[in-house]
């Protein structure tokens, strides 16, 4: 009798141990994370899958595509956007499908935002020294009114031929700069590749242009383990702080534009000082998001975060809303389905759109 009992105990112990091993293996996920410096920013992919090899393959393929696309979207490079900027004023230039798609979208956002989003201002952006390869230590310059005015006043039109996939620029004073929208597009393409590999979840982040998906919940026996991505929104005046955390479910994108991302300061004598988050006493901040109507850095907002279904939409709208300012920017957000926003004004107020009333963000910069 005692012998039977101890055999039973050993049996129960083995069954329990095997169940624990089974549960552990079921719930285990491999996380693969890689980053590359592309288009003047860090491009980071984090993928989760039950198979490490599968996640690794997906991330490699996705990063190779991101690299290829970043060359396509260089405004001075060997891709078709570079060709458009070199020859587009004198002839129609055949664009790659990717560049054509984004250029068409940029034209739509220019119209939708009443010209606040404007991808034809590359030459104005250059005058301020915010070139594509600007890095954080980069120092810009303040252009004179004589330099700026002709570029601002120039009517800047692009004619697109949707059948031939060509574009032509109305003047040699135009340089097409897709820096306010292309990173979002690349993030969307990367997510498409990752989804093909049937990962459990993934996060793609190109310098604050983020898209996540976690629509394949992990299952441990009959329990579903669904967790949102928790994404911190950067404090625009303190690198070490966030404004709050957004919980993102399913498949969604967000993008932040800020006057601290590429900037410089100038004192009264126009001496130039490097970019940083905190304001500098007695100095004026100049930054890379330009109001196309004035040719000057846009004033009024210091940071805009947009939530939208795709990263391209979030990217274009974060730039557009930054230029539009609080009232017009909020009105644009409210007019679009599935789009929400968090705006920070230059006097430190944090304003959210109607769909985000329940988030737990402070109403003033902490
Ligand atoms: P983002 O960080 O997405 O707001 O994009 C800013 C970048 O877009 C700048 O570095 C410029 O290359 C470009 N840009 C600046 N001003 C504008 C504008 N008003 N509309 C579209 N793109 C812009
Ligand atoms: Mg943008």
Long-range contacts of 272-279 (CB under 8 A, 24+ apart): 272/139, 272/140, 272/141, 272/142, 273/139, 274/136, 274/137, 274/138, 274/139, 275/136, 275/138, 277/235, 277/236, 277/237, 277/238, 277/239, 278/237, 278/238, 279/237
CA–centroid distance, residue 244 to ligand 2 (Å): 21
Collapsing DSSP to helix, strand or coil, 266 comes out as strand
CB atoms closer than 10 angstroms to residue 63? 20
pLDDT of residue 25: 57
In whole angstroms, give the CA distance from residue 88 to residue 84.
4
**209, HSE (Cβ side, Cα atoms, 13 Å):** 30
The answer to whether the CB of 123 is under 6 A from ligand 1 is no
Q: Taking Cα atoms as reference points, which of 217, 244, 247 lies closest to residue 361?
A: 244
Which atom of ligand 1 is nearest to 130's Cα? 10
Q: Ligand 2 being an ion, which residues bring their Cβ within 5 A of it?
A: 180, 315, 318-319
**Closest atom of ligand 1 relative to the 184 alpha carbon:** 3
Angle between helices 52-72 and 97-112 (to 10 degrees): 70
Q: Which atom of ligand 1 is nearest to the CA of 315?
A: 3
Report pLDDT for 11.
Answer: 81
Q: H-helix or E-strand containing 342?
A: strand 340-345
Q: Which of 135, 148, 290, 292 to mutate to test the pocket of ligand 1 (most atoms within 8 A of CB)?
A: 290
> Is 325 a pocket residue for ligand 1 (Cβ < 6 Å)?
no
Sheet of strand 158-161, all strands in order from the earlier edge strand to the far edge? 93-94, 166-169, 158-161
Task: Go through 273-289 and write b for each residue having 16 or more CB atoms within 10 A of its CB, e for each that does not.
Answer: eebebeeeeeeebbbbb
Ligand nearest to the CA of 323: 1
Cα–Cα distance for residue pair 102/347, rounded to 1 Å: 34
Nearest ligand for residue 123 CA: 1
Nearest to 32 by CA among 60, 66, 70, 67: 60
Tens place of pLDDT per residue across the chain (366 aa) = 667 778 888 888 887 777 666 655 555 678 999 999 987 889 999 999 989 999 999 999 999 999 999 999 998 889 999 999 999 999 999 999 999 999 999 999 999 999 999 999 999 999 999 876 665 446 789 999 999 999 999 999 999 999 999 999 999 999 999 999 999 999 999 999 999 998 989 999 999 999 999 866 666 667 777 788 999 999 999 999 999 999 998 899 999 999 999 999 999 999 999 999 999 999 999 999 999 999 999 999 999 999 999 999 999 999 999 999 999 999 999 999 999 999 999 999 999 999 999 998 999 999
3-class DSSP assignment, residue 253: strand
Is the CB of 313 within 6 Å of ligand 1? no
| The pLDDT of residue 6 | 82
For ligand 2, the distance from its centroid to the CA atom of residue 304, given in whole angstroms, is: 10
CB distance 323 to ligand 1 below 6 Å: yes
Q: Is 175 in the pocket of ligand 1 (CB under 6 A)?
A: no
**By CB neighbour count within 10 A (0-12 exposed, 13-18 middle, 19+ buried), where does 228 fall?**
middle
Nearest CA, atom 12, ligand 1: 179
Considering only CA atoms, which residue is closest to atom 15 of ligand 1?
A: 289
Q: Distance, CA 270 to ligand 1 centroid (Å)?
A: 24
> Other C-beta atoms within 10 Å of 292: how many?
20
What are the Cα distances from residue 345, in Å, to 127, 224, 236, 301, 349? 26, 41, 10, 4, 5
Size of the chain, expressed as the number of residues it contains? 366
Instruction: Tell me which H or E stretch contains 330.
Output: helix 326-335
Q: Separation of 103 CA from ligand 1 center, angstroms?
A: 14
Q: Is 185 in the pocket of ligand 1 (CB under 6 A)?
A: no
- SS3 of residue 147 by DSSP: helix
Indicate which residue's Cα is closest to atom 23 of ligand 1: 180
User: For residue 14, what are the CA distances in angstroms to 7, 19, 221?
Assistant: 11, 8, 19
Q: What is the pLDDT of residue 136?
A: 46
Residue where the block lists tokens 């299952």: 219
Query: How far is ligand 2, taken at its centre, from the CA of residue 291, in Å?
Result: 13
Q: How far apart are CA 181 and CA 319, in angstroms?
A: 8
Report if pTM > 0.85: yes
On whether the CB atoms of residues 243 and 237 are closer than 8 A, the answer is: no
Residue with tokens 């993928």, as numbered in its chain: 47
Is 343 in contact with 304 (CB distance < 8 Å)? yes
CA of 289 to the centre of ligand 1 (A): 5
Structure tokens, 307: 């939530």
CB of 179 shorter than 6 A to ligand 1: yes
């Amino acid at each position: 009798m005692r012998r039977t009992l101890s055999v039973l105990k050993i049996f129960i112990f083995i069954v329990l141990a095997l169940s624990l091993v089974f549960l552990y293996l079921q719930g285990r996920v491999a996380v693969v994370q890689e980053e590359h410096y592309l288009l003047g920013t860090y491009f980071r992919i984090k993928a989760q899958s039950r198979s490490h090899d599968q996640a690794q393959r997906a991330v490699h393929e996705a990063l190779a595509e991101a690299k290829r696309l970043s060359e396509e979207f260089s405004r001075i490079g060997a891709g078709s956007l570079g060709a458009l900027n070199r020859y587009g004023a004198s002839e129609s230039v055949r664009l790659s499908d990717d560049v054509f798609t984004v250029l068409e979208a940029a034209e739509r956002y220019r119209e939708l935002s009443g010209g606040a989003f404007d991808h034809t201002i590359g030459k104005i952006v250059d005058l301020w020294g915010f070139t594509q390869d600007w890095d954080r230590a980069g120092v810009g310059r303040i252009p004179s009114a004589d330099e700026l005015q002709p570029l601002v006043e120039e009517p800047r039109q692009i004619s697109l031929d949707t059948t031939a996939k060509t574009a032509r620029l109305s003047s040699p004073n135009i340089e097409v700069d897709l820096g306010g929208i292309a990173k979002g597009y690349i993030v969307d393409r990367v997510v498409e590749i990752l989804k093909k590999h049937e990962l459990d979840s993934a996060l793609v982040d190109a310098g604050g242009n983020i898209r996540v998906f976690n629509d394949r919940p992990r299952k441990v026996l009959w329990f579903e383990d669904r967790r949102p991505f928790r994404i911190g929104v950067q404090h625009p005046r303190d690198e070490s702080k966030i404004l709050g955390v957004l919980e993102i479910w399913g498949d969604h994108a967000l993008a932040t534009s800020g006057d601290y991302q590429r900037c410089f300061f100038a004192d009264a004598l126009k001496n130039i000082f490097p970019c940083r988050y905190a304001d500098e006493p007695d100095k004026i901040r100049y930054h890379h998001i330009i109001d196309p109507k004035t040719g000057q850095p846009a004033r009024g907002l210091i940071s805009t975060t947009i939530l939208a279904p795709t990263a391209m939409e979030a990217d274009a709208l974060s730039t557009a809303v930054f230029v539009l300012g609080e009232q017009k920017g909020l009105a644009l957000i409210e007019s679009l389905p599935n789009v929400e926003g968090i705006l920070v004004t230059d006097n430190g107020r944090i304003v959210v759109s109607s769909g985000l009333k329940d988030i737990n963000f402070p109403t003033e910069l902490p």
